[in-house]
Amino acid sequence: MTTGAPANDPVNEPLELPSSRYLYQYASVRGPNDRTLKLTSEYLSGVLPNMPQLPCDLPEDPDDLEAWFTAAVAQTHARYADYLQARKSGAPRHYFSNRAHAMYFLRALAPTKLVDGAWLYGLAAKWKNPIYHGLLRTYLEELGEGDESKNHVLLYRKLLAAHGAEQWQDLPEAFYIQGAIQLALGFQAEQFLPEVVGFNLGYEQLPLHLLITAYELNELGIDPYYFTLHVTVDNADSGHARRAVDAVQEVLPLLGDRAAFWQRVRNGYMLNELGMGTVATIRSFEIEREVHEIFTRKSIGGHGAHSDYCKIAGRTVNDWLSAPEQVPYFLDALKRAGWIVPGPDVQQSRFWGLLQGDKAQMFGVFNAYELQMIHDWIRGPASVDGMPYTWTQDQPAPGPDAAPFRQPTFRAMQRQQPAVGVQGDVVDADTQTLTEHLATLPGKEAMTHYLASVISPLHHWKPAGLAATKLFSQYAFS
Ligand SMILES: [Fe+2]
């Protein structure tokens, strides 16, 4: 497993394992076939032996879990209160330097968030055993209990689409580790049940970064609902966080080896520490590198597509774009030739006028995500105001006499939007097969068993999966 982290970091020590990206891409498309089961078993068996060597903040004795939980909640609330106080006193955002930074974060989290809840999928097949009902209810709530407006994966897909960030598949290996772990646990609940319970305990606690992320996204005019939803569903009183603690107590054996089981729960808990966490992801943002990558990707399709009459520093655009490694020099040449003028007003850059606006000759070449990245790169420190790249189209450019741009919060913008109707019924091949197959089954038990397979991370966010989740939610507990 290659993570890009220092080689002496025991969390990320390279192992002879299938790459996280490969496992993720294979398992999330092919589902729990023999190869997936082999890959996921090997993956977890390879990673887990390292976990006991990592510093773990869980108590040694599971009887102390309640006190640990209460203290952790109190600490998160106290630190969030400090954050709010600091912001009220004029401190800058702690996480997102500009709008592009927030969009980078949303895209970098895509592999993890698009399998949200997957680690609990294996509990669906155990629906008859009441000791797993708490965890199963958590899984079904991750799936919105079949309501498309509450399905966490669908919500995240919509969030990515709203910002042109659907293309994330070329993210580095480290960004796939958490998603690969989640899928692997979901397909290996039989072999790794204590680890599933432990991972869930760690993942479902309300972290400080979730509260700050939601606050700062809203401030930047970006829909924070996916994150605020998790603040509410993970609540300490009755939500997933509380239930995760209760689940440990419910599954800890009374007849078997309690201490060995608890150690395995701790190992599963520590899996949350692998790969890129939220704060590490936020800190990994470098706008210059992102802009270079965007132009490198474009150069592959763009070289040869330009006319030769325009030259930058004596060379044609086609020539500049003929080798991706020239991108940084090309961007520097554009600056020196005055095509790009770093500063608060992007309209001063003729190059920006080619990308965006009524007469933009390259309109449509760059998507919303890429335009915001280039926009904030050109604006530099001024981009701290969170201005969307579209803002400059119809409104006076910011200048010395103009009022400073003020980004309205997402909630303020939402109050001005008309209500949108709900999409009508959707029929597709899988929905039809689901309906037809259910009609052939002899009774509720057989149907619940079949539905448990349909609500997997592969399907649950699609129309057939949503319909199956609704039915499963009714049948499994009655
Ligand atoms: Fe979730």
Dist. CA 226 → ligand 1 center (Å): 8
- Ligand 1 center–CA 214 separation, angstroms: 14
Same domain, 188 and 153: yes
Q: Which of 377, 393, 409 is the last residue of a domain?
A: 393
| Residue corresponding to tokens 């999966």 | 465
Domain of residue 256: give its range. 10-283
The per-residue pLDDT for range 425-444, each reduced to its tens digit, is: 667 899 999 999 999 999 89
CA-to-CA distance for 165 and 106, rounded, in angstroms?
8
pLDDT mean over 252-264: 92
Query: Considering its fold, how many domains does the chain have in total?
Result: 3
How far, in Å, is the centroid of ligand 1 from the Cα of 244? 13
184 and 167 housed in the same domain:
yes
Inside any domain, residue 328 = yes
Judge residue 443's burial from the number of C-beta atoms within 10 Å of its C-beta, 0-12 exposed, 13-18 middle, 19 or more buried. Answer: exposed
**Residue 283 pLDDT exceeds 80:** yes
pLDDT of residue 235: 66
Amino acid letter at 389? Y
pLDDT digits (tens, 9 = 90+) for 127-174: 999 999 999 999 999 999 999 999 999 999 999 999 999 999 999 999
- 47 and 195: one domain? yes
Output the CA 156–ligand 1 centroid distance in Å.
Answer: 9
Residue 130 Cα to ligand 1 middle (Å)? 22
Residue 327 C-alpha to ligand 1 middle, in angstroms? Answer: 39
Nearest by Cα to 339 from 366, 364, 320, 311: 311
Q: What distance in angstroms lies between residue 386's CA and the mean position of ligand 1's atoms?
A: 27
β-bridge pairing 311-312 and 315-316? antiparallel
Q: Does residue 179 or residue 395 have the better pLDDT?
A: 179
Residue 201 lies in a domain: yes
Residue 234 Cα, ligand 1 centroid: separation in angstroms? 9
Does 125 lie in the same domain as 216?
Answer: yes
Quickly state the pLDDT bin for 5 (edges 50, 70, 90).
very low
283, 310, 336: which is the final residue of a domain?
283
Output the CA 323–ligand 1 centroid distance in Å: 42
The predicted pLDDT at position 411 comes to 74
Average pLDDT over residues 453-464: 94
pLDDT at position 425:
60
Number of H helices and E strands in the chain, helices first, is: 23, 2
Shared-domain flag, residues 263 and 295: no
Using 50, 70 and 90 to split pLDDT, how confident is the model at 243? confident
Q: What percent of the chain has pLDDT over 70?
A: 88
Residues 203, 451, 43, CA angle at the centre, nearest 5°?
45
Alpha carbon of 273 to ligand 1 centroid (Å) = 18
Write out the DSSP string of 248-297: HHHHS-SSS-HHHHHHHHHHHHHGGGSS--HHHHHHT--HHHHHHHHHHH
Cα 381–Cα 354–Cα 321 angle in degrees, nearest 5? 90
Longest CA–CA separation in the chain, Å: 82
Q: Compute, in degrees rounded to 10, the torsion defined by CA atoms 397, 403, 404, 409.
A: -100
Q: Report CA Rg, the chain.
A: 25
Statement: residue 417 has pLDDT above 60: no
Looking at the structure, do residues 245 and 329 belong to the same domain, yes or no? no
Query: Residue 150 Cα, ligand 1 centroid: separation in angstroms?
Result: 10
Sequence-distant (6+) residues with CB within 8 A of 444 are 475
Sign of CA dihedral 201, 202, 206, 210: negative
Is the CB of residue 275 less than 8 Å from the CB of residue 174? yes
pLDDT bracket for residue 11 (50, 70, 90): very low
Determine the distance separating the centroid of ligand 1 and the alpha carbon of 117, expressed in angstroms: 6
How far is ligand 1, taken at its centre, from the CA of residue 143, in Å? 8
CA distances from 325 to 98, 241, 296 (A): 27, 47, 8
188 and 105 in one domain?
yes
Average pLDDT over residues 84-90: 96
Give the model's pLDDT for residue 404. Answer: 67
Report yes or no on 342 lying in a domain.
yes
The answer to whether residue 251 is domain-embedded is yes
Q: State the distance from the centre of ligand 1 to the C-alpha of 163, rounded, in angstroms.
A: 20
Bridge partners, residue 147, by sequence: none
Are 279 and 310 in the same domain? Answer: no
Query: How far away, in angstroms, is 223 Cα from ligand 1 center?
Result: 16
SS3 of residue 311 by DSSP? strand
Q: How far is the CA of 153 from the centre of ligand 1 (A)?
A: 8
Q: What is the pLDDT of residue 303?
A: 57
Residue recorded with tokens 């608890």: 262
Instruction: Give me ligand 1 centre to Cα 24, in Å.
Output: 18
- 161 C-alpha to ligand 1 centroid (Å): 18
Tell me: pLDDT of 185 over 90.
yes
Which residue in this structure is represented by tokens 């629906």? Answer: 127
Pick the last residue of a domain from 283, 305, 334: 283
Same-domain pairing of 339 and 251:
no
- Does any domain span residue 412? no
- Cα of 411 from ligand 1 centre, angstroms: 21
Per-position DSSP letters for 51-104, written without gaps between them: GGGS---S-SSGGGHHHHHHHHHHHHHHHHHHHHHHHHTTPPPSS-SSHHHHHH
Distance (Å) from CA 149 to ligand 1 centroid: 13
Within a domain: 409: no
Separation of CA 227 and ligand 1 centre (Å): 9
Q: What spacing in Å lies between the alpha carbon of 278 and ligand 1's midpoint?
A: 14
* CA–centroid distance, residue 306 to ligand 1 (Å): 45
Quote the CA–CA distance of 452 and 459 in Å, as a whole number. 11
* Cα–ligand 1 centroid distance for 417 (angstroms): 26
230 CA distance to ligand 1 middle (Å): 6
Of 258, 83, 108, the residue nearest 172 (C-alpha): 108
| Mean pLDDT (whole number) for 60-72 | 93
Any domain includes 1:
no
Indicate whether 231 and 363 sit together in one domain: no
Question: Are both 278 and 298 inside the same structural domain?
Answer: no
Q: Which range, 347-351, 373-377, 428-432, 437-441, is most confident?
A: 373-377
Output the CA 137–ligand 1 centroid distance in Å.
Answer: 12
Q: How far apart are CA 240 and CA 232, in angstroms?
A: 9
Taking the C-alpha atoms of residue 375 and residue 383, their distance in angstroms, rounded to an integer, is: 8
Q: Supply 179's token pair.
A: 């998603």
C-alpha 152 – ligand 1 centre gap (Å): 5
Distance from the CA of 235 to the center of ligand 1, in angstroms? 12
Q: What's the gap in Å between 136 CA and the centre of ligand 1?
A: 13
457 and 344 part of one domain: no
Distance 28 CA to ligand 1 centre (A): 17
Q: What residues pack around ion ligand 1 (CB closer than 5 A)?
A: 116, 142, 152
CA distance 115 to 20: 14
Tell me whether residue 35 is in a domain: yes
